[in-house]
């Protein structure tokens, strides 16, 4: 039994949700999102909450049950509060700056990296060594943060590179004489 899937997803005030067949449409203060559930689950709207139930008891139905419930919950949080990922840059001369719709990254290469900010995502740099990615779609925010981190991931010897805020970097000892 899915522990996540059992709980109904409450729809808070200020958010309107509609379920039609396998599709959920959610509209809130920050925007509008939708999700198409797989055929293995049934979506229902009752008493101001959305419930997800599996059609069968096979492994795939039970896996889709918890996943679908989590997706619906992420839609509701996204349109009401939004999501945010923080990245930290460590290293001498490593910095980031937003210029219009482009994030300029100086990460120790012979050239600067220009990352075009996609629609629906906002990127801010309060400090040159800090990047904040915000948006209403959790998957998109995480994907953008991962793409930025991928340009220069943290290395284990000096800890230089781009890392998530709060991420622990396992450090290695250098060569000995």
Same domain, 113 and 50: no
CATH number of the CATH domain containing 122: 3.90.930.12
Show Cβ contacts of residue 30 under 8 Å, excluding neighbours closer than 6 positions: 78, 79, 80, 81, 82, 136
| pLDDT number for residue 1 | 62
The residue segments making up the domain with residue 152 are 83-164
Same domain, 15 and 66: yes
Residue bearing tokens 């250098």? 174
Same domain, 49 and 103: no
Give the end of a domain, one of 33, 58, 80.
80
Which tokens in the block code for residue 121? 């995502």
Same domain, 56 and 105: no
Mean pLDDT by runs of 10 across the 177 residues of the chain is 83 91 92 92 91 91 92 94 95 94 94 94 95 95 96 93 93 87
Same domain, 54 and 9: yes
Q: Which of 70, 100, 99 is nearest to 5 (CA)?
A: 70
| pLDDT number for residue 161 | 95
Partnered with residue 114 across adjacent β-strands are 104
């Amino acid at each position: 039994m899915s522990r996540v899937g059992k709980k109904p997803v409450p729809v808070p005030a200020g958010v309107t949700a509609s379920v039609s067949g396998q599709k959920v449409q959610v509209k809130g203060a920050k925007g509008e999102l939708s999700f198409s559930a797989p055929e293995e689950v049934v979506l229902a709207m009752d008493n101001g909450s959305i419930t997800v139930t599996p059609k069968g008891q096979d492994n795939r139905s039970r896996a889709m049950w918890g996943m679908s419930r989590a997706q619906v919950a992420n839609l509701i949080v996204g349109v009401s509060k939004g999501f945010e990922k923080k990245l930290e840059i460590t290293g001498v001369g490593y910095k980031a700056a937003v210029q219009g719709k482009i994030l300029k990254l100086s990460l120790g290469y012979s050239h600067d990296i220009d990352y075009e900010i996609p629609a629906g995502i906002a990127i801010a740099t309060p400090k040159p060594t800090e990047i904040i990615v915000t948006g209403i779609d959790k998957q998109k925010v995480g994907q953008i943060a991962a793409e930025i981190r991928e340009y220069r991931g943290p290395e284990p010897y000096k800890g230089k590179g781009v890392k998530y805020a709060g991420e622990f970097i396992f450090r290695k000892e250098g060569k000995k004489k």
